[in-house]
Chain A
Amino acid sequence: MLSGPNRDPLLTVESLSLHRGGRELFRELCLEVLPGQLLQVDGANGAGKTSLLRILAGLSRYGFEGKVHRSVPLLYLGHLPAVKALLTPRENLAWHVSGEGAYNDQQIEAALARVGLYGYEDVPSHALSAGQHRRVNLARLYLSDCPLWLLDEPFTAIDKTGVAELELLLVEHVQAGGAVMITSHQPLRVDYPVLAINLAQGLQA
């Protein structure tokens, strides 16, 4: 559940260091993600954005130093859409392997309508385009109750209006007391303070 006045950190990172292939990607990274924060992880290709998010989500458990403390359920969207081509968008969301919620038909239809897939609920997903696959995955954001979202390049293959709607959704989520950490190469066009984490330079306001 999203909580309003509570200011306890949703995620705490203590002196996180990562080496990959003999290269230091980041060192002694300290971070507290508070409710209401919108963070954008910035850095060149290969700077370690995805690696950082996977560590924070708990998918990478070895090979780094430091501590990550997660105090709330989180939603992680990676590069891969996790959408099964043999299932319809409705089934993909209703039986999602992330085990999040039990959603009813109305909720799923509303979420799919929000991502512009109205009318596609019961079309087999292999008939959808790559961008629409990603949209099915993004519909999870409209259903989710998780306070903390970790989004890895969510704008890939999404058209301009889709990106704008997604940006609005992110702001709504952080205003409701959630937090979002996003990796993206495009600057976010939102009416909300965005904290930038540059992996080469550290935290910036």
Chain B
Amino acid sequence: MNAPGSARFCLRLLRRQLVLAARRPIEIGNPLLFFAMVVALFPLGLGPAPDKLAGFAPGILWIIALLSNLLTSDGVFRSDFDDGGLEQLLLAPQPLYLSVLAYIGAHWLITGVLLALVSPIFALMLNLPVAAIPVLVLGLLIGTAVLSLVGGIGAALTVGLKRGGMLISLLILPFYMPVLIFGSAAVQAAVTGIPSGPYLAILAAMLCLAIALAPLAIAAGLRISVDA
């Protein structure tokens, strides 16, 4: 057999998912637009008090990042399930663990990474101190990867359902909480001048755990969804 090796197959899947996403730019733009809208609305709702806004900013930014991730994670496997591609993926000779990582990696690149990259603009809109911005970006980069991996579990389990949106929230929102707590705490620490390293380290530890375990759960979830 001339089947490509796991690493090459992963890159192939990653490229495929990124090209698919790039051909439907609205899907990439939607979470960012959502982020921008909510950030623009908060100052209007909280009133014109820049100091107050700066205090809320870490929490606000992280909550929006979490919600916009929740909005998109439903679709990671949806279209491949609908057109039969998922069946073929499960039959592929390469380990599903790595294929699933490629899917999640693509999802992270087009949601989490983009969000982290544009977050400084939103941070300035919310009057977050400039010194805290690097921590925010780094925290979002690590944290959204965890969110994508955990969200993938929910997506894999609900992909066979016509309306999985609400269920996916119920399933994975509890697992999002630690990321939210430590992510916003890291930014808060940077704002008040406490070292934020420990919080970021805990986020990174969560990421290690998620990379090790989430693909197993996602692979099992996909097999169950396709089997049903």
Q: Which residues of A contact B (CB under 8 A)?
A: 1, 57-63, 73-74, 76, 78-84, 86-87, 91, 95-102, 145-146
Selected from A1, A78, A95, A99, the residue in CB contact (under 8 A) with B93 is A99
Residues on B with C-beta less than 8 A from A82 are 83-85, 87-88
Selected from B19, B84, B90, B92, the residue in CB contact (under 8 A) with A80 is B84
6 contacts between A and B (CB under 8 A): A80-B87, A82-B84, A98-B89, A99-B3, A99-B89, A101-B4
CB within 8 Å of A: which B48-95 residues: 79-80, 82-94
Residues on A with C-beta less than 8 A from B24 are 86
Docked complex Cα distance between A63 and B228 (Å): 10
Which one of A87, A99, A101, A146 has the greatest number of beta carbons of chain B within 10 Å? A99
Docked complex Cα distance between A59 and B48 (Å): 58
Q: Residue of B at shortest CB range from A95? A: B16
Q: Which residues of B contact A (CB under 8 A)?
A: 1-4, 8-9, 12-13, 15-16, 19-20, 23-24, 79-80, 82-94, 99, 223, 226-227
- In the complex the two chains form, is B4's CB within 8 Å of A99's CB? yes
* Contacts A95-B12, A95-B15; A83 near B3 (Cβ below 8 A): no
Q: Residue of B at shortest CB range from A147? A: B1
Residues on B with C-beta less than 8 A from A61 are 223, 227
Residues on B with C-beta less than 8 A from A99 are 3-4, 9, 12, 89, 92-94, 99
Docked complex Cα distance between A113 and B202 (Å): 55
Docked complex Cα distance between A100 and B91 (Å): 10
Chain B contact surface mostly: helix
Residues on A with C-beta less than 8 A from B94 are 99
- In the complex the two chains form, is B88's CB within 8 Å of A98's CB? yes
Q: Residue of B at shortest CB range from A102? A: B4
- In the complex the two chains form, is A59's CB within 8 Å of B3's CB? no
Residues on A with C-beta less than 8 A from B8 are 102
In the complex, what's the smallest C-beta–C-beta distance from B40 to chain A, in angstroms? 31
- In the complex the two chains form, is B84's CB within 8 Å of A78's CB? yes
Q: Knowing that A63-B227, A97-B13, A100-B1 are A-B contacts, what are 16 other residue pairs whose CB atoms are under 8 Å apart, sorted by A's residue number? A: A57-B91, A61-B223, A74-B91, A80-B84, A81-B84, A82-B83, A82-B87, A86-B23, A86-B24, A87-B19, A91-B19, A97-B80, A99-B9, A100-B92, A100-B93, A101-B4
- In the complex the two chains form, is B93's CB within 8 Å of A87's CB? no
* Contacts A99-B99, A102-B2; A78 near B16 (Cβ below 8 A): no
Residues on A with C-beta less than 8 A from B82 are 80
